[in-house]
């Protein structure tokens, strides 16, 4: 068993055990982590995304002060073929604001013109004094230039910030302005008004808060990104989940479509029933990983679509299941090109593209996932093998992670393991979503895993719920993942982010709206494990009632800092004593940092009451041997310095 392998000097375990799973599900990317505030900025929404959606979804045509003209969507002169639709505003007449008695008529007030108004993702929140980076692409389609007024407006039409620009080129050009909000509004719209007669093409209308995470261009929402950074994850897996392989060939996530200037990226339907702009694309994912010191873990399709179904299980699937065998050479090249793009020198074809985008240094890619929960069919097997062999031959330095399907006891799971072991795939991705008691009952699962077989990436797991009892069952399980950190190399809770009123998955780690966040107990548990990882595991440090499976503990050492980290979990209804023996360690500090999460089993946080469960930090006296009284339904992490 794992325990028997432990020596008094500790057992080497994976230094990258706990990381994050990011998928654009629940509006996690567009409308979420990606800080773009304009919804449907490029007029590319369509009924393929959602039956009732179209190019002008989230836009409103407006003609204040008795102005008139027209709004159309055209495709004959796009900025780029990948971004075919754009709006055309024709301004025929610009009204005159009323004077005297006439100014009392509401329609006579405000800035006259012909224009469009965007309400963002459930409206936009702007804050007094904060700056917003506005940009759009426009081209003059009439003989004369067209003047535009851009403003942020509250729901009553009050102008919170305004800027003017003139479109005076027949070519598509980018125009920018900084808009500073005069006051707070949580229901803001962006208004673009043509204020002189003429015709103008408009595309990629964008508004970002000026302070994105690390002030990156095309960046991430600072508050959400910071919460993820605070977790200190060892890695980030992206872009999914099912999103990675889509539900048909036309819906696969193809990484090359998601790099380069945003106006040239290929947008597409999101498998979770909305739209992907690809504004948060591979460049941004890799940059974010680098910014927070996490290893990038891209998951690429194994050339088959979701559950190998060809989209038959979702409306809008293309019916094509897998990349035809005679196109596999090109697809394999696409996978190899990703490695060159991430790691190649600036003189390589793809390394040069990374450098041109602003990152000459390599991104140090070490892992590539191939496939996600795929059915283990002959189509999958022959394609996976081709990709795997090619990556292994050209890039032996890259660890390929295979997939073994969705459920621990499913048919594909068993077939997937057998297949991966035959190919000696170094690591495979297991997924499971189960009830909390399943995690408690199955905490010994990996003790029995054969260490000579493929190692495990537990890429998606969660107990069904965001109550404290769910998080504590996961904490029990995570101590077992640490104990088995010699065979479980990586693990990530899923899904990560969920926007209020836009969730497709009910149990998630962080809930948010346009302004607030709700950190679940599951987040706090994950954070305590990710931020307190070790690379050596020590057995027999904590004595507890071994018959009580609701009690669990682990002890790891982080050899970079020398710190000893104890995790003590009590999933029961009464406090329990645990005895800690640290005599194996030298030079222990007498005082340590302690963080406790505890409360009632049913407690949960909400956006309205986000603090029902919160970690409590304090100091604790420690010695070579001491007792710890673990509160009912709790996780305690004690971090002890050794010098
Ligand atoms: O995490 C949500 C979904 O669950 C993922 O997209 C998929 O891989 C799994 O079935």
How much distance in Å is there from the Cα of 389 to the middle of ligand 1? Answer: 26
Last residue of a domain, one of 209, 228, 255: 209
Cβ of residue 373 lying under 6 Å from some atom of ligand 1: yes
DSSP state, 610? Answer: T
| Angstrom distance (rounded) from CA 384 to CA 393 | 14
Angle between helices 468-483 and 521-530 (to 10 degrees): 20
pLDDT of residue 318: 54
CATH number of the domain that residue 73 is part of: 2.60.120.260
Last residue of a domain, one of 157, 187, 209: 209
Q: Whose CA is nearest to atom 5 of ligand 1?
A: 241
Last residue of a domain, one of 209, 242, 269: 209
Domain of 151, in residue numbers? 59-209
What number of CA atoms fall less than 13 Å from residue 299's CA on the CB side?
30
Q: For residue 78, is it within any domain?
A: yes
Kindly write down the DSSP assignment for every residue of 186-217, as one continuous string. EEEEEEEEE-SSEEEEEEEEEEEES--GGG-T
pLDDT of residue 3: 42
Cβ of residue 246 lying under 6 Å from some atom of ligand 1: no
Going by their DSSP bridges, the two strands 510-512 and 563-570 should be labelled as unpaired
Cβ of residue 430 lying under 6 Å from some atom of ligand 1: no
Q: For residue 81, is it within any domain?
A: yes
| Angstrom distance (rounded) from CA 285 to CA 228 | 13
Closest-lying ligand 1 atom to the alpha carbon of residue 373: 8
Q: For residue 167, is it within any domain?
A: yes
CATH number of the domain that residue 573 is part of: 2.60.40.1180
Is the predicted pLDDT of residue 310 greater than 90, yes or no? no
Q: Total domain count for the chain?
A: 2
Q: For residue 13, is it within any domain?
A: no
Whole-prediction pTM:
0.96
Going by their DSSP bridges, the two strands 159-167 and 591-598 should be labelled as unpaired
How much distance in Å is there from the Cα of 241 to the middle of ligand 1? Answer: 5
Average pLDDT over residues 250-257: 95
Q: For residue 109, is it within any domain?
A: yes
**pLDDT one-digit tens code per residue, 537-560:** 999 999 998 899 999 999 999 999
How much distance in Å is there from the Cα of 602 to the middle of ligand 1? Answer: 25
Q: For residue 53, is it within any domain?
A: no
Is the predicted pLDDT of residue 319 greater than 50, yes or no? yes
- Measured in degrees and rounded to the nearest 5, phi and psi for residue 370 equal -120, 110
DSSP state, 143? Answer: S
Strand partners, 80: 83
Cβ of residue 495 lying under 6 Å from some atom of ligand 1: yes
Distances (CA, A) of 424 to 51, 393, 428, 454: 45, 14, 10, 6
Q: For residue 262, is it within any domain?
A: no
pLDDT of residue 2: 43
Cβ atoms of 321 and 310 closer than 8 Å: yes
Q: For residue 120, is it within any domain?
A: yes
Going by their DSSP bridges, the two strands 427-434 and 399-403 should be labelled as parallel
How many other CB atoms are there within 10 angstroms of residue 408's CB atom? 16
**pLDDT one-digit tens code per residue, 94-124:** 999 887 777 777 777 788 999 999 999 998 9
Angle at 475 between CA 472 and CA 481, to 5 degrees: 155
How much distance in Å is there from the Cα of 312 to the middle of ligand 1? Answer: 17
**pLDDT one-digit tens code per residue, 561-615:** 999 999 999 999 999 999 999 999 989 999 999 999 999 999 999 999 999 999 9
**Known catalytic residues?**
373
**pLDDT one-digit tens code per residue, 42-64:** 999 999 999 999 999 999 999 99
Q: Which H/E stretch holds residue 282?
A: helix 282-291
CA nearest 237: which of 181, 149, 300, 182? 300
């Amino acid at each position: 068993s794992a325990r028997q392998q432990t020596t008094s000097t500790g057992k080497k375990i994976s230094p990258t055990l706990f990381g994050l799973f990011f998928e654009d599900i629940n509006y996690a990317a567009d409308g979420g982590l990606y800080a773009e505030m304009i919804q449907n900025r490029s007029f590319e929404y369509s009924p393929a995304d959602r039956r009732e959606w179209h190019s002008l979804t989230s836009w409103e045509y407006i003609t204040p002060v008795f102005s008139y003209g027209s709004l159309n969507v055209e495709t004959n002169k796009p900025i780029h073929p990948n971004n075919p639709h754009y709006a055309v505003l024709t301004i025929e007449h610009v009204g005159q604001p009323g004077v005297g008695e006439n100014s009392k008529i509401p329609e006579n007030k405000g800035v006259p013109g012909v224009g469009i108004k965007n309400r963002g993702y459930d409206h936009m929140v702007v804050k007094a004094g904060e700056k917003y980076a506005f940009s759009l692409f426009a081209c003059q389609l009439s003989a004369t230039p067209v003047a535009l007024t851009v403003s942020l407006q509250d729901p009553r039409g009050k102008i919170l910030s305004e800027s003017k620009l003139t479109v005076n080129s027949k070519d598509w050009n980018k125009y920018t302005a900084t808009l500073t909000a005069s006051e707070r509004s949580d229901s803001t719209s962006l208004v673009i008004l043509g204020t002189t007669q003429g015709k103008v093409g408009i595309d990629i209308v964008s508004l970002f808060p000026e302070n994105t995470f690390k002030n990156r261009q095309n960046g991430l929402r600072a508050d959400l990104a910071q919460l993820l950074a605070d977790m200190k994850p060892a890695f980030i897996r992206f872009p999914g989940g099912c999103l990675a392989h889509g539900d048909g060939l036309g819906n696969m996530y193809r990484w090359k479509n998601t790099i380069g200037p945003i106006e040239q990226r290929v947008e597409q339907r999101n498998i979770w029933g909305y739209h992907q702009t690809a504004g948060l694309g591979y460049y941004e994912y890799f940059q974010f990983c680098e910014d927070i010191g996490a290893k990038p873990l891209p998951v690429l399709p194994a050339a088959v679509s979701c559950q190998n179904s060809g989209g038959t299980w979702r409306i809008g699937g293309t019916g094509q299941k897998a990349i035809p065998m005679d196109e596999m050479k090109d697809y394999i090249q696409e996978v190899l090109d990703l490695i060159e793009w991430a790691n190649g020198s600036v003189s390589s074809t793809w390394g040069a593209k990374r450098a041109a985008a602003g990152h000459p240094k390599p991104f140090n890619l070490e892992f590539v996932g191939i496939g996600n929960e795929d059915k283990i069919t002959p189509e999958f097997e022959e394609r996976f093998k081709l990709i795997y062999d090619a990556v292994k031959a050209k890039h032996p330095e890259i660890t390929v992670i295979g997939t073994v399907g969705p459920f621990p006891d499913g048919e594909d799971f068993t077939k997937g393991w057998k297949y991966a072991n035959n190919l000696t795939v170094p690591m495979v991705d297991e997924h499971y979503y189960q009830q909390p008691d399943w995690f408690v009952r199955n905490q010994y699962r990996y003790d029995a895993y054969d260490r000579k077989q493929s190692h495990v990436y537990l890429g998606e797991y969660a107990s069904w719920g965001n109550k404290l009892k769910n998080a504590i069952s996961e904490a029990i399980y995570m101590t077992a993942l640490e104990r088995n950190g010699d065979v479980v190399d990586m693990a990530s809770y899923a899904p990560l982010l969920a926007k209020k009123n836009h969730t497709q998955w009910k149990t998630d780690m962080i809930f948010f709206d346009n302004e607030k966040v709700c950190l679940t107990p599951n987040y706090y548990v994950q954070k305590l494990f990710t931020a307190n990882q070790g690379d050596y595991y020590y057995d027999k440090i904590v004595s507890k009632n071994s018959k009580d499976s609701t009690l669990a503990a682990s002890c790891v050492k982080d050899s970079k800092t020398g710190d000893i980290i104890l995790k003590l979990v009590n999933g029961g209804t009464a406090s329990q004593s645990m005895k800690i023996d640290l005599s194996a360690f030298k030079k222990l500090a007498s005082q340590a940092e302690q963080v406790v999460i505890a409360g009632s089993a049913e407690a949960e946080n909400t956006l309205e009451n986000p603090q029902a469960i919160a970690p409590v930090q304090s100091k604790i006296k420690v010695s070579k041997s001491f007792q710890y009284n673990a509160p009912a339904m709790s996780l305690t992490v004690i971090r002890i310095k050794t010098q």
